[in-house]
Amino acid sequence: MKNPPEKGFASFISDCSKWALTGSTSYKIYLFALLVIIGTGVWAYSHQFREGLIVTGMSNIVSWGLYISNFTFFVGVAAAAVMLILPAYVFKDEDFHEVVIIGECVAVGALVMCLLFITVDMGGPQRLWHIVPGLGLFNWPSSILTWDVLVLNGYLALNTLVPLYILYCNYHNRKPVGWKYRPFIFLSIFWAVSIHMVTAFLYEGLPARPFWNNPLLGPRFLASAFAAGPAVIMMVIIAIKETTSYPIDPIIFKKLKRIIVIAAVINLLMLFSEVFKEFYTFTHHSLSAQYLFFGLDGHDALVPWIWTAISLNILGTLLFAFDPTKGNTKYLMVAAISLFTGIWIEKGFGLIVPGFVPSPIGEVVDYVASKTEILITLGILATGILIVTMLTKPALHILSNFKMLNTD
């Protein structure tokens, strides 16, 4: 090797931050805009911290709202990284190898968002140390929420450490040693499924809420995640292709498209099965579904949302399935945004809010997110995007350098 004094971890970090922060003027404007949105979110949160959750639109009847909805959705996005890892490492797909790092960066960003959404949803965030195993009292294995804490943090660790190791080796122009990271790759594949199943079990395990107490919930979470997640990853890859010189083989789009179509079709099939069950024999337990799709007792806040979601869902699936442009990035971007938004609404508050309506004693209340809630949510989304950017940029820099050095 040509560079005799081995550069340490400190220089790795400083180089990475340099690559992450330098860029064109438009890149700097983009970062600045994200920081402004984050700042607004922090300001809104300080208001919520002082006043309590009373500044949100939640109530004793609809006691989870925008935060938990987004949490649920982004667990799916995080889990979807497995759709790149699995072909890249298990089926040794060379094309996916090129972009697997992007999937992992998206997973880290999504997980940080999930943890932030949970934190801002807490009534007593200053008492959160009570849930730290060893310090507080961890109700494991009884409470599914403690399982979720474990799997989410574990998945975050896996998705941080494995790419970090590979990049660190490449940074020093070494090939990563297989046995040191491959076991963790396989673990993370299993783990990705588990984060989403456990999150589904949070809801699925509550007989109090018939709308959620449905064994299809977990599998359906996975199907929708494996459609929406790769759609997000596709959006990121298109953005990278359009704004950087990092080489992206068009075959990637073709393969991602195939994954998305299969998952989206399975998701729609399961949605249809659920709708059939709720409305063919209309029971007392179908009231939540009625509230969601048609409104109940004059309350219909979710009706326009769910029909928009289903339309976007079908539109996105069709756009991906019949692509006349054969991989035009603008076309794919439209398809990805449509599918992503559809699933986001449907699996976000289209899933969480109707679970609470009507309440177990029959009361119907509409939930409308407050301004504070929306600002905090936007702040967290911007944080996620910032993290994905800050991770992807240096990662791609290191990878292309490494490839250049090794092909010469």
Partner 1 sequence: MDSRKNEEGRMKKEEHPEGKSTRRSFLEGLSIAAAASSASLATGCSLNSLPESKEEFGLKWEEYFKKNYRLMTQKEKDDTVERLIKLAKLNDNQDLTISNQAPREKVLYGYAFNITRCEGFMDCVEACVKENNLDRNAKTQYIRVFEMEPGKLDPSTGDGKYFHEVPVDDKFYMGVQCFHCENAPCIKACPVKATWREPDGIVVVDYDWCIGCRYCMAACPYWGRRFNWGKPFVPKEEITRQQHYLGNRQRMKGAMEKCTFCIQRTRQGKLPACVEACPTGSRVFGNLLDPDSEIRFVLKNKKVFRLKEDLGTDPKFWYFID
Using CB under 8 A as the criterion, which residues of the chain lie in contact with partner 1 when the complex forms? 49-54, 56, 58-61, 63-64, 118, 121-132, 134-139, 142-146, 149, 202-203, 206-209, 355-356, 358-363
The nearer residue to partner 1, 5 or 134, going by C-beta atoms, is: 134
DSSP string, 394-407: HHHHHHHHHHHHHH
The nearer residue to partner 1, 124 or 304, going by C-beta atoms, is: 124
Instruction: To the nearest 10°, report the CA torsion of 399, 401, 404, 408.
Output: -130
The nearer residue to partner 1, 144 or 256, going by C-beta atoms, is: 144
Cα maximum dimension of the chain = 75
Q: Is omega for the bond preceding 358 within 30 degrees of 0, making it cis?
A: yes
* Least separation in angstroms between CB 93 and partner 1: 39
* Least separation in angstroms between CB 68 and partner 1: 9
Report phi then psi at 291, rounded to 5. -60, -45
The nearer residue to partner 1, 81 or 118, going by C-beta atoms, is: 118
Q: What distance in Å separates the CA atoms of residue 211 and residue 204, rounded to the nearest whole number?
A: 9
Nearest to 71 by CA among 5, 21, 120: 120
* Least separation in angstroms between CB 140 and partner 1: 8
The nearer residue to partner 1, 98 or 148, going by C-beta atoms, is: 148
* Least separation in angstroms between CB 247 and partner 1: 44
Question: How many CB atoms are closer than 10 A to CB 197?
Answer: 18
* Least separation in angstroms between CB 286 and partner 1: 14
Q: Is omega for the bond preceding 176 within 30 degrees of 0, making it cis?
A: no
The nearer residue to partner 1, 157 or 206, going by C-beta atoms, is: 206
Which residues, 6+ apart, have CB-to-CB distance to 46 below 8 Å? none
The nearer residue to partner 1, 40 or 146, going by C-beta atoms, is: 146
Tokens describing residue 19: 């690559």
| Chain centroid offset of residue 309 CA | 17
Q: How far is CA 208 from CA 57, 213, 344, in A?
A: 22, 8, 25
* Residues 21-51 as b or e (16 or more Cβ within 10 Å = b): eebeeeeeebbeebeebbeebeebbeebeee
The nearer residue to partner 1, 131 or 193, going by C-beta atoms, is: 131
